[in-house]
Structure 1
Amino acid sequence: MGKPIIYFLCTGNSCRSQMAEGLGKEILGDEWDVYSAGIEAHGVNPKAVEMMDEIGIDIRNQKSSVIDSNILNQSSLVITLCGDAKENCPVVPKGVETAHWGLVDPAKAEGTEEEVNKVFREVRDEIKRRIENVN
């Protein structure tokens, strides 16, 4: 059998869950298979790509995808990153551990570019801290 699966879920699979997937692969990739998905697929947010580049993680080739029931059913840990995903996530099978990390949506940040970047960085760094505590 392969490595356990960690599945990060969000609304549009464009920002938070994409950053979580990139960070998860970087931090947990030796021990976990890491995936992300959304209730919908909105494409990978260019600002998320830019903010991940700042810390040396390239998520350009990640795909925005909707929740895959096969991956969901095989997951060891499912983490929802927003209330919408938590409310609308398909039923998680018994025996699959779940966690909810309610994070602000950086895509909704307003203000100057620097203010928007600050929100993206805060969310990215919070995801990183939490992923480092998964094992």
Structure 2
Amino acid sequence: MGEIGIDLSSHRSKSVNEFLGRDIDYVVTVCDQARETCPFFPGGKEYIHQGFADPSALTGPEEDVLAGYRRVRDEIKDWVEKTFRNK
């Protein structure tokens, strides 16, 4: 993500419990497994799903795996920009 100017160094995974009791405008899932196992968010106003390939499943030479991660990253970035541009 740093390659495209997005610093995630202060981000962390969060438990769904951190969001209980909060109003949530959008619940977004980006992989089919998450869509099947993602918990229900009470108060979620809109649920949006867009499936992308799971880059963690990639195997092969490091440069091929890295290229796959970049491809999925760029697909997600493009989708987010198009989907949320006017929201």
Q: Structure 1: how far apart are the matches of 2:21 and 2:32?
A: 18
Share of identical aligned residues, percent?
A: 40
Equivalent in 26, 38, 44 of residue 89 of structure 1: 38
- Mark the CA change 1:112 to 1:88 in structure 2 (over 3 Å): closer, same or farther: same
2:23 is aligned to 74
Deviation at 1:73, TM superposition (A): 4.5
For residue 66 of structure 1, what is the amino acid of its counterpart?
A: S
Q: Structure 2: how far apart are the matches of 1:87 and 1:62?
A: 24
Give unpaired runs (5+ residues) of structure 1. 1-51
Give unpaired runs (5+ residues) of structure 2. none
For residue 75 of structure 2, what is the amino acid of its counterpart?
A: E
Q: Judge conservation of contact 1:109–1:119 (CA < 8 Å) in 2.
A: yes
Q: Structure 2: how far apart are the matches of 1:63 and 1:69?
A: 12
Paired residues for 1:32-71 under 5 Å: 52-68=1-17, 70=19
Greater relative contact order (Cα < 8 A, sep 6+): 1
Q: Structure 1: how far apart are the matches of 2:20 and 2:79?
A: 22
Q: Judge conservation of contact 1:81–1:101 (CA < 8 Å) in 2.
A: yes
1:26 is aligned to none
Larger Cα-atom Rg: 2
Let me know the Cα RMSD of the aligned residues.
Answer: 2.0
Q: Structure 1: how far apart are the matches of 2:14 and 2:76?
A: 20
User: Runs in 1 of length 4+ with deviation above 4 angstroms?
Assistant: none
Q: Structure 1: how far apart are the matches of 2:55 and 2:74?
A: 12
Q: Judge conservation of contact 1:106–1:119 (CA < 8 Å) in 2.
A: yes
CA offsets, 1:11-58, max 9 Å, x none? xxxxxxxxxxxxxxxxxxxxxxxxxxxxxxxxxxxxxxxxx1111211
